[in-house]
């Protein structure tokens, strides 16, 4: 469903952000993308949601290929993805439910369908009781749950999470990771970038490690051959 | 469409200070353009008033038969650019002189014989009152055999001509400068709104809103601010006009001209929004 084929990405300065990156993520998989900050995790995620295009090679996501993608395809692609960031990216002047509903409104979903969908995902992330709270009235963990609810409300094929626990304490981190696992258990693929190896160690899931823009380890391949750990 | 209107209203409600500031800025930019328009309008009206008085007078030889004059009047009125030709008899001229030149009243009273000749007064139509045309008509009038002398105040007509030329050029240059300044001011103001909401735009793109969808509320926002700014500018201009009018009698825009200013503001608001959002959408990525 997500396939990187010999992807190179260079910055405007000319230095390489990604070098010969190839991997495949199947429907319903849960994958950690690990590595130090600046290793290239975010660049990989941005290529997935077509915020940038590869300098060479091909990225295919849910039938959209970067080789044939037009500008007008980008919104269509993003409606099949749910994206979560470290800094939540909620609109401060809208309540939790308005933030979630916003994702449906701007994609032209009929109004009478919006409210039930919003309540369903807010219930799913455990925030139904705080639907009318503004982001500033919520804890970091709760804000991230709202962001996850917003990512889920379009019924995405895959949730992309870029350091979703980077701003959270241990307890909130565990909650968010569990939530992503639950979402995955319902059939949605999850690609989560993190530099926190503690999380990865505790979860039985595939992990791909990026170093200096190259994949140095992929548990799906390497464990079969070497049987090594994450590090 | 309902969502577009709702989002536009929300943007006014969520950022009332910024919105009010934008409308005020647009209003004052247009106010200055309007003020200049008022000045230009009044100069034009004043020049037209003066110009209307342009008159060519042909003094007739004594004893010119009335029939000859009547035929000539018809010819003159048929001449292109001539609005009217009026015959003024010797007696009428004397009566007029008595009225106009009161200090010579007694001199006129003592006259045994009227020294003033009869004349034909020619007025030119609008658009034919320039020095060239007037001189041409004067020359032609002089070619009538009964015309003793033709006068039209050559210097005066040439001066008006020059004044109109200067007014037109200066008006065009200053008007264009003001218009450009207001375009820049309004453009910057609208850009502030776009930047203020850049976070919202980024999130919209992230969840898959099309560029067209993102653009619409901004365009409506720009139009609404342009209209409000334009109407406020008309109000400010009217206040300025009312204040000046207490000292000098001046003219205000007619409905069409006022609408033009509002339309100018609306178009500017719309264009500034379109350009700002397009630039923003091109430049800023979602992540």
Average pLDDT per 10 consecutive residues for chain B, totaling 287 residues: 78 83 89 88 85 86 85 87 87 82 73 82 86 87 86 82 86 86 83 85 89 88 91 94 88 90 91 87 64
**Structural domain includes residue B72:** yes
Residue A19 structure tokens: 């070098």
Nearest-Cα distance to chain B for A113, in Å, is 15
Q: Does the pLDDT value for residue A231 go beyond 50?
A: no
State which residues form the domain around A136.
Answer: 89-155
* pLDDT tens, position by position, A138-148: 999 999 999 99
Give me the pLDDT at residue B133, please: 87
Residues of chain B with Cβ-Cβ distance to A46 below 8 Å are 285, 287
* Residue B282: partners with Cβ closer than 8 Å, 6 or more residues away: none
Nearest to A79 among B3, B208, B285 (CB): B208
Cβ <8 Å between B287 and A42: yes
B173 touches chain A (CB under 8 A): no
Same-domain check for residues B197 and B266: yes
In a domain, B156, yes or no: no
**A163, A156 contact by CB (below 8 A):** no
Residues B115 and B180 in one domain: no
Output the pLDDT for position A227: 47
Please check whether residues B169 and B264 belong to one and the same domain.
Answer: yes
* Cα B246 to Cα B241: distance, rounded to the nearest angstrom: 9
DSSP letter at A211? E
Strand B55-60 and strand B119-124: the pairing is antiparallel
Q: Say if CB A78 and CB B206 are below 8 A apart.
A: yes
Using CB atoms, pick whichever of B199, B213, B286 lies closest to residue A106. Answer: B213
Residue A107: is its pLDDT beyond 70?
A: yes
Residue ranges making up the domain that contains B236? 2-49+161-283
Classify strands A81-85 and A158-162 as parallel, antiparallel or unpaired: parallel
Residue that wins the pLDDT comparison between A41 and B40:
A41
Is residue A65 assigned to a domain?
Answer: no
Q: B205 and A75 in contact by Cβ < 8 A? A: yes
Q: Do both B135 and B166 map to the same domain? A: no
- Domain shared by B176 and B277, yes or no: yes
- Find chain A residues with C-beta within 8 A of B202's C-beta: 89
Q: Are residues B169 and B97 in the same domain?
A: no
Number of domains in chain A: 1
Domain end position, chosen among B113, B131, B151: B151
What end-to-end distance do the CA atoms of chain B give, in Å?
Answer: 27
The answer on B102 and B38 residing in a single domain is no
At residue A229, does pLDDT exceed 60? Answer: no
Q: Which of B14, B209, B285 sits opposite A106 (nearest CB)?
A: B209
Optimal mutation site among B6, B206, B285, interface A, most CBs of chain A within 10 A: B206
> Are B65 and B30 in a shared domain?
no
Residue B193 lies in a domain: yes
Based on the fold, state whether residues B140 and B170 are members of the same structural domain: no
Structural domain total, chain B: 2
Is the residue at A137 inside a domain?
A: yes
- To the nearest whole angstrom, how far is the Cα of B209 from the nearest Cα of chain A? 5
The pLDDT of residue B130: 84
Instruction: Determine the pLDDT at residue A225.
Output: 59
Identify the closest residue of chain B to A53 by CA–CA distance. Answer: B285
Chain A residues in contact with B285 (beta carbon < 8 A): 46, 51-52
A69 at interface of B, judged by CB pairs closer than 8 A: no
Say whether both B168 and B278 belong to one domain. Answer: yes
In a domain, A98, yes or no: yes
State yes or no: pLDDT of A226 exceeds 70: no
What pLDDT, on the 0 to 100 scale, is given for residue A230? Answer: 45
Q: Which residues of A touch B205 (CB under 8 A)?
A: 75, 78
Put simply, whether A51 touches B (Cβ < 8 Å) is yes
Q: Which tokens belong to A231?
A: 């590090």
Q: Are residues B68 and B177 in the same domain?
A: no
The predicted model gives A5-22 an average pLDDT of 91
Model pLDDT, residue A45: 96
Q: Single out the residue in B151, B173, B207 at which a domain terminates.
A: B151
Tell me: do B113 and B28 sit in the same domain.
no
- Chain B residues inside the 8 Å CB shell of A75: 205, 208-211
**Residue B185 located in a structural domain:** yes
Give the tens place of pLDDT for each residue, A142-189.
999 999 999 999 999 999 999 999 999 999 999 999 999 999 999 999
Closest residue in chain B to residue A111, using alpha carbons only: B3
| Residue B224 in tokens | 């609404």
CB contact under 8 A, A75 and B210: yes
Beta carbons of B20 and B189 less than 8 angstroms apart = no
Rounded CA separation A58/A5 (Å) = 5
pLDDT for B285: 59
Chain B residue with minimum CA distance to A42: B287
Are the Cβ atoms of B208 and A77 closer than 8 angstroms? yes
Q: Which of residues B114, B130, B151 is at a domain's end?
A: B151
């Amino acid at each position: 469903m997500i396939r990187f084929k010999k992807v190179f990405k260079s910055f405007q300065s000319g230095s390489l952000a990604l070098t010969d990156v190839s991997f495949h993520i199947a429907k319903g998989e849960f994958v950690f993308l690990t590595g130090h900050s600046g290793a290239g995790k975010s660049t990989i995620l941005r290529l997935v949601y077509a915020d940038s295009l590869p300098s060479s090679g091909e990225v295919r996501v849910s039938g959209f290929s970067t080789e044939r993608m037009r500008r007008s395809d980008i919104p269509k692609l993003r409606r099949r993805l749910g994206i979560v960031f470290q800094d939540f990216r909620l609109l401060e002047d809208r309540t939790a439910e308005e933030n979630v509903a916003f994702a449906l409104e701007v994609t032209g979903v009929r109004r009478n369908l919006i409210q039930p969908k919003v309540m369903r995902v807010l219930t799913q992330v455990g925030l139904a009781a705080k639907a009318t709270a503004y982001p500033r009235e919520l804890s970091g963990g709760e804000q991230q749950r709202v962001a996850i609810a917003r990512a889920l409300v379009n019924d995405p094929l895959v949730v992309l999470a870029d350091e979703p626990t980077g701003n959270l304490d241990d307890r909130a981190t565990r909650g968010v990771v569990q939530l992503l696992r639950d979402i995955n258990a319902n059939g949605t693929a999850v690609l989560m970038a993190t530099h926190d190896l503690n999380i990865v160690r505790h979860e039985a899931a595939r992990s791909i490690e990026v170093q200096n823009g190259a994949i140095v380890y992929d548990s799906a391949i390497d464990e079969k051959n070497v049987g090594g750990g994450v590090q | 469409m309902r969502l577009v209107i709702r989002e536009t209203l929300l943007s006014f409600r969520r950022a009332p200070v910024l919105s009010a500031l934008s409308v005020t800025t647009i209003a004052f930019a247009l106010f200055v353009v309007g003020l200049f328009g008022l000045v230009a309008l009044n100069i034009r009206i004043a020049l037209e008033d003066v110009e209307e008085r342009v008159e060519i007078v042909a003094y007739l030889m004594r004893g010119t038969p009335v029939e000859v004059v009547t035929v000539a009047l018809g010819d003159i009125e048929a001449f292109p650019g001539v609005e009217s030709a009026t015959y003024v008899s010797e007696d009428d001229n004397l009566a007029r002189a008595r009225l106009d030149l009161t200090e010579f009243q007694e001199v006129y009273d003592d006259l045994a014989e009227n020294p003033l000749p009869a004349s034909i007064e020619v007025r030119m139509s609008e658009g034919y009152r320039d020095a060239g045309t007037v001189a041409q008509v004067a020359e032609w009038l002089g070619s009538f055999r009964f015309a003793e002398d033709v006068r039209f105040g050559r210097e005066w007509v040439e001066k008006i001509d020059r004044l109109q030329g200067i007014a037109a050029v200066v008006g065009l240059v200053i008007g264009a400068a003001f218009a450009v300044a207001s375009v820049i001011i309004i453009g910057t103001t609208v850009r502030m709104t776009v930047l203020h909401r850049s976070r919202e735009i980024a999130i919209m793109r992230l969840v898959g809103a099309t560029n067209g969808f993102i653009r619409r509320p901004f365009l409506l926002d720009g139009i609404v601010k342009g209209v409000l700014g334009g109407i406020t500018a008309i109000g400010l201009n009217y206040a300025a006009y009312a204040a000046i009018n207490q000292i000098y009698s001046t003219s205000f825009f007619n409905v069409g001209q006022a609408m033009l200013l509002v339309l100018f503001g609306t178009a500017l608001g719309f264009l500034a929004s379109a350009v700002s959002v397009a630039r923003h959408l091109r430049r800023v990525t979602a992540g």
